[in-house]
Amino acid sequence: MINAKKAVGERAAAYVEEGMTVGLGTGSTAYWMIEKLGEMVQAGLNIKGLPTSKATEEQANRLGIPLVTFSDVKQLDITIDGADEIDPQFQLIKGGGGALLREKIVAKASRRMIVVADESKLVDVLGTFKLPVEVVPYGWEKTAFDIQLMEGTPHLRKDGDNTYMTDNGNYILDVDFYPIREPRKLSEALNQLPGVVENGLFIDLAETILVGTSDGRVLIK
Ligand code: 5RP
């Protein structure tokens, strides 16, 4: 699978052109795209990156990719990011790596979003992968209770013996909602709950999907 992730990540870097501002995704597939962009920058490509997590920021700094923040730019040319599940309408579940809030802010600020994934991420119906929901720590038990009333089964994400904490200082509830037949409705309903910061359903954001196959090919959808 690493080969598929590497092939697709590196292929996606070809979508980045001189002068672009690029949303830099998070995860083990986006990693290879960022490594390739680093090579391109070292060879003279002039771009600016906006990272979606502290891990990605560290990687970009190591590679010498110039970075900006939302105090510098309000719109990006392109975002390239991974996904945990992709349905036939290109609706996504993201947040397996815990970066869903920054990823969604960056994707929404971008003219186009390219998704990089290996073929195991393609599904007919979303929800086998538990939906990550970022919640504020205060009253998370009540937020989890409200999510149960929506027929989800929430699990507080752990990091070893500790509660997992996002880059924004929040918790993640991984929620079993399978099958998610109406992802837009579910996303809107979740974001109505006061303790929910954001959820991992990315609706109508992905424009192009690059799929890496186990034999090293890259399919463009
Ligand atoms: C991080 C994400 C990742 O894009 C998603 O988890 C896919 O990761 P990987 O490429 O490692 O399979 O949403 O929050």
The active-site residue out of 57, 103, 134, 198 is 103
- Predicted TM-score (pTM) of the model is 0.96
Looking from the CA of 143 toward its CB, the CA atoms found within 13 Å total: 27
- For the chain, which residues make up each domain, given as ranges? 2-123+203-220, 131-198
Tokens 């929040």 correspond to 170
Higher-pLDDT residue of 38, 218: 38
Q: Mutate which of 10, 84, 120 to test ligand 1's pocket (most atoms within 8 Å of Cβ)?
A: 84
56 is in an annotated binding site: no
Question: What CATH architecture applies to the domain 131-198?
Answer: 2-Layer Sandwich (3.30)
Q: Are 36 and 10 in contact (CB under 8 A)?
A: yes
35 has a pLDDT exceeding 80: yes
171 has a pLDDT exceeding 70: yes
Residue minimizing CA distance to atom 8 of ligand 1: 27
Please state which CATH number belongs to domain 2-123+203-220: 3.40.50.1360
Q: Are 167 and 97 in contact (CB under 8 A)?
A: no
ipTM of the complex: 0.98
Looking at residues 88-106, what average pLDDT do you find?
98
- On average, the pLDDT of the chain sits at 97
Looking at residues 60-84, what average pLDDT do you find?
98
Q: Is the CB of 26 under 6 A from ligand 1?
A: yes
Q: Is the CB of 84 under 6 A from ligand 1?
A: yes
117 is in an annotated binding site: no
pLDDT band at residue 214 under the 50/70/90 scheme: confident
